[in-house]
Amino acid sequence: MPGVGEQRAGLGEIAWAFLKLGTIAFGGPAAHIALMEEGFVRRRRWLTEQEFLDRLGAANLIPGPSSTEMAIYIGHNQRGWPGLVVAGCCFIIPAAILVSAIAAAYVRYGSMPRVSGVLYAVKPVVIAVILQAFWKLSRTAVKTKSLAAIGTAATAAALLGVDNLLLLVCSGLVAAVPSLFLRTKPGVLASVINLAAMKPKSLMALLSAIAAGAAVPFGLWRLFLVFMKIGSVLFGSGYVLLAFLRSDFVLRLHWLTEKQLLDAVAVGQVTPGPVFTTATFIGYLLAGMPGAAVATVAIFLPGFLLVAASGPLIPRIRRSPVAASILDGVIVASLALMGVVTWQLGRAALIDPLTIAIAVVSAVLLLAFRMNAAWLIVGAAVVGVIHGG
């Protein structure tokens, strides 16, 4: 439900906002989350910064695409179950349609359309948008010196390659240490940790066993089960997604070649919207539009279910001192991951005087004049087309 003093959005407004976002949201999860912060915290004021951060922490702790789950959380915050479905679907649909069109061209011509010019100019804008959101959210999230220290340590750990989920869990537990041992009965903490560690493993084992039936020959039901498994157990970036897809579709099932898989992941990375629409591309390659639809539904469905289950718990978590401390630690670690991703993207995007100029101008327009990031992305795309031509 909306925060105190916040106005509830209508379903039509939610649908339009997320359709537009899904159409211009280039740059991966960090950029998507930054655009959501600008659109739904700063401009529409659907959530407070703290409410946004709480949902960001929760989205990073459950498997699935974090930015899509943020969209679902925001929809649920505004309109409950109907808002949850509308926000999530409208964020996914533009990317799924675009990826299906690219897949159709790929099947017909054996190659992908060139988008390098557009990405060349859009990426610097994305960096500026992420930096703006990172700065604003950090001021709200880093409430104490101890949280600042946890965030610094998490940044260093992320740069050293520590597993993202491990980093989030450890940061949450460290943040809760002062109140944990004062308020928690002996043995309860160990039981919670053991349960948290066991559930994902048990879930993965169960879904893997189900999907093991998805051996050749190909079938839509088998395709659904494989993508449902991946969506239920996957934490991490597009590179982790690549590993899961390769294991299932290339090595075990032999439904794809290595080249087809790499092309599918590339399409998911360079198109706006969720990276998980890689599944849409693969589904289309294997079974046309029915395969694209089945694969898309299967990989995103676990995220909808997990958000529906966890969304009502977030306000209760805030009322518990121990749970709230854990959430605060997870939030600063999430921002640390966001900062590291921004650094990595920046090194790849700011490669010459033009891209640096685009990033600087975008940052000035965002911070000083509060220009809508959507217009900056559209303008940069036009510059990219001209430059590429």
Task: Quote helix, strand, coil % in the chain, to nearest 5.
Answer: 80, 0, 20
What local confidence, expressed as pLDDT, does residue 351 receive?
Answer: 86
Query: What is the pTM (predicted TM-score) of this model?
Result: 0.73
Structure tokens at 126: 């994305």
What local confidence, expressed as pLDDT, does residue 236 receive?
Answer: 57
User: How many CB atoms within 10 Å of residue 195?
Assistant: 9
- Mean pLDDT over the full length of the chain: 82
Instruction: Give which of 387, 371, 384, 382 is closest to 128, Cα–Cα.
Output: 371
Task: For residues 213 and 49, give the distance between their C-alpha atoms in angstroms, rounded to a whole number.
Answer: 45
The proportion of the chain whose per-residue pLDDT surpasses 70, expressed as a percent, equals 84
What local confidence, expressed as pLDDT, does residue 238 receive?
Answer: 55
Query: Within a domain: residue 234?
Result: yes
Task: For residues 86 and 72, give the distance between their C-alpha atoms in angstroms, rounded to a whole number.
Answer: 8
Mean pLDDT of 361-373: 85
Task: For residues 377 and 383, give the distance between their C-alpha atoms in angstroms, rounded to a whole number.
Answer: 10
Task: For residues 333 and 167, give the distance between their C-alpha atoms in angstroms, rounded to a whole number.
Answer: 7
User: How many CB atoms within 10 Å of residue 313?
Assistant: 11
Is the predicted pLDDT of residue 139 greater than 70, yes or no? yes
Query: Within a domain: residue 339?
Result: no
* Helix or strand run (H / E) with residue 248: none
| Amino acid identity at 144 | T
User: What is the domain range of residue 29?
Assistant: 1-116+133-332
Mean pLDDT of 367-381: 82
Query: Within a domain: residue 361?
Result: no
Chain centre to alpha carbon of residue 1: 22
The proportion of the chain whose per-residue pLDDT surpasses 90, expressed as a percent, equals 32
Number of H helices, E strands in the chain: 16, 0
Confidence band, pLDDT 50/70/90 cuts, at residue 377: confident
Mean pLDDT of 186-196: 47
Query: Within a domain: residue 298?
Result: yes
Q: Which residue has the tokens 């359709």?
A: 19
CA distances from 46 to 43, 55, 81, 281, 352 (A): 8, 13, 16, 33, 38
Mean pLDDT of 272-281: 89
Mean pLDDT of 67-87: 93
Is the predicted pLDDT of residue 275 greater than 50, yes or no? yes
> pLDDT tens digit string along 8-29?
889 999 999 999 999 988 777 8
Is the predicted pLDDT of residue 130 greater than 50, yes or no? yes
Secondary structure letter of residue 295 according to DSSP = H
Task: For residues 147 and 137, give the distance between their C-alpha atoms in angstroms, rounded to a whole number.
Answer: 13
Confidence band, pLDDT 50/70/90 cuts, at residue 192: very low
Q: Which residue has the higher pLDDT, 24 or 182?
A: 24
Confidence band, pLDDT 50/70/90 cuts, at residue 153: very high
What local confidence, expressed as pLDDT, does residue 18 receive?
Answer: 96
Query: Within a domain: residue 61?
Result: yes
Structure tokens at 89: 């679907």
Domain count, the chain: 1
Is the predicted pLDDT of residue 85 greater than 90, yes or no? yes
Confidence band, pLDDT 50/70/90 cuts, at residue 95: very high
Chain centre to alpha carbon of residue 106: 26
What local confidence, expressed as pLDDT, does residue 183 receive?
Answer: 57
What angle is formed at CA 67 by the lines to CA 64 and CA 72, rounded to 5 degrees?
A: 85
Query: Within a domain: residue 124?
Result: no
Secondary structure letter of residue 255 according to DSSP = -
Q: How many residues does the chain have?
A: 389
> Residue 287: is it exposed, middle or buried by C-beta count within 10 angstroms (0-12/13-18/19+)?
middle
Query: Within a domain: residue 386?
Result: no
What local confidence, expressed as pLDDT, does residue 234 receive?
Answer: 78
Query: Within a domain: residue 121?
Result: no
